[in-house]
Structure formats: C-alpha cells, structure tokens
Chains A and B, each alone.
Chain A
Amino acid sequence: MGFEHLPPNLVTGVASVDGDHDQLFGLVEQFREAKEERNLGLLRSFVAGLVEYTVYHFKREEIGFEITGFSGKANHCAEHRNLEATVCGLEKELAENPQAFTAEKLEEIDAFLVEWLNHHIAELDMAFKDAFNSSPEAIKAMEDYTFVGHLADAAEDCDPLGDILGDLENQGEGHV
C-alpha cells in the first residue's frame, strides 16, 4: 500500500501505525510550508496538530505494547516521553516567545523532526512489527483507538471562545 507522505522504506506493515506515521510526516511537511510563510498563527496551529497527533499515536502504540508484552517497551516509551516533552516545549515556547523562532531555528526544528521520525521508525518501530502483526488482539485494539475518541473528553471540556469572551463573561457573572 502506498502512502502520501511516508517513505516506503519506513513502512512497518502494521496498518494503523503506518497510517499514523503518514500523518506525522504530513504534519512535518505542513510545518515546512508554514515556516516559509512566517505566519505565526498557522505555525502554532501546525505545532498544536503535531503535539495532538504525536501524543495520540504514542498512546496507540503503547496499547499494542501492553497487549503483546513487547520486550522493548521501556526503552521505546522513554523515547516517546522525550519527544512529547520536546514538542510540548516547542508549543509553549512558540506561544510565549515567538520572536526567538528565527528562520535558522525553524530550519533546525524541521531537520530535528525529520531525523527523529526516520530514526525512531527505522530503529525502534521496526522492532515491534512482528509482535504486533502476530497479535490480532493488539491490531484490533489499536485500530479501535481512534483519534476522535482520544480527544473527545478534552474537546468536550475546551472552550475556544473562552480566550476571547472569558473576561467579559466573568465580569457579567460578578454583576449578577
């Protein structure tokens, strides 16, 4: 099966994982477009997407680790936590100190993300493909763990209008 963004040499044969990797490479390509345009709002949107999808994808893989009892779980999860911390830090820094994101720094981030994905998939993810592919239970559980299911509670609790209206609405409550 061909993918839109995922290089053929990084296909693991685990459909849900490969689909996620394709999304992640797609996000890195979008980051590249946004950095050329220097639009902060869009750049932050791509990074927000990267954070959301990275956390989701790692959780999905870790469901597979639990079911299969994958022996490389500890080392693999440690790499997951490291990248989560990096991209969450990037999101925070971009929100708080956008002027620090020079063209040179954006190039470095781009190179880091591509290198990380290539290294992680080629050297770590390939190690679990046989364990996953021999466990129909793991394959099904991972396929059943959807992105919208993963985000549903957080989406329910969020209030996109709150940042704009929150202070005024709080004032109104104070008057009642």
Chain B
Amino acid sequence: MFNAEEWSALSTLILADNDSFRSVVRSNCRRIGFGAVEDATTGTEAINMLMVKFYSVLIVQREMKNGGVKFIDLLRQNASRIAGGDRLPVVVIANAGATPEMIFEAADAGANYLIQLPVSAKGLMKGLHIAITQPGVFASRAQAVRQIVA
C-alpha cells in the first residue's frame, strides 16, 4: 500500500454526473491524501481534461446518464488522444448490488478495478492501489470467474 507521501504525489480525475457521488468520492480521495483531486460531470468534459493533463488514475461512476462503462470503452478506443494513453488506470464505482456480469463488462471495456457502493476510504485505497500498481489483475480475475461461470 502507498504511504502518505506516495499518495500525495498522485492525482485523480473523478467523472460522475451525480453531485453527491462526486462529493463522497472527492472527500475520500482528499482524506487519502491525493495531491490533486479534480472532477468532470460529462464524458466530453473529462476527455478535454485528459487531453491536456496527465492524471494518475481516473474514477468513473458506472450509473451515469450516458453510461460510465461505455465511456471507458470510448476512452480506450481513443487512447492516443489522451495523456497517459491506454495505460491510464481506470476504477469504476457501481451502485450497491453489483453483479459478476457488471465486472465482466467493466473488464471488457478496459477498466482496472470495480468497487460498489457504499464506498469507504479503505476500499477505495485498495482498489486504486491495485489499479495503479497491478493494472492487469482485475481483468485476469474477471476472466477466471467467467470461466467458472461458463
């Protein structure tokens, strides 16, 4: 796990169209100690921010109006246009009651972790740390479970 100094060297962009959702994630990120916490309310706004600035990790609300996972899919297809390209770690936050299918869908779109509400600083720290340091683990775990289901 990162220490306080390491977290402070990281930046995050939060993409969510729900005010309270942004508020809870933003405050958790600040308490964790991110050096910069910024947010966007639409996919277009997020893309514009990602084109001009590098972020250590992107956090996306799954249940936003036009679909958080659909946004990640588009982001991965246009990786050459953003700072950090296809290596930008992406964490999805879903409403409570997330299913394995939601995990498969997020992994297929190129997400690097999924957390469901309620979100705590502890859970967010774990998900963000894995997405940043072991970006392939989420897809591997999803694939392993998909084989069990099949």
Contacts and interface: CB of A to CB of B under 8 A. Distances in A.
Interface residues of B, number: 45
B52 interface: no
Contacts, number: 127
The CB with the most chain A CB atoms within 10 A, among B18, B31, B113, B116, is that of: B31
Given A34-B24, A151-B122, A160 B148 contact: no
A155 B118 contact: no
Interface in B104-121: 113-121
Interface in B1-54: 1-4, 7, 18-21, 23-24, 27-28, 31-33
Contacts of A42: 18, 20-21, 24, 117-118
B148 A172 contact: yes
B123 A158 contact: yes
Contact of B125 (A26, A27, A47, A151): A151
B84 to A, nearest CB: 23
Contact of B120 (A23, A30, A49, A148): A49
A45 B25 CA distance: 9
- Identify whether the interface residues of B are mostly helix, strand, loop, or mixed: helix
B90 to A, nearest CB: 15
Contacts of B138: 161
B74 interface: no
Contact of B7 (A30, A47, A53, A148): A148
A137 interface: no
A65 to B, nearest CB: 23
B118 A48 contact: yes
Interface of B: 1-4, 7, 18-21, 23-24, 27-28, 31-33, 95-96, 98-100, 102-103, 113-123, 125-127, 129, 138, 141, 144-145, 147-149
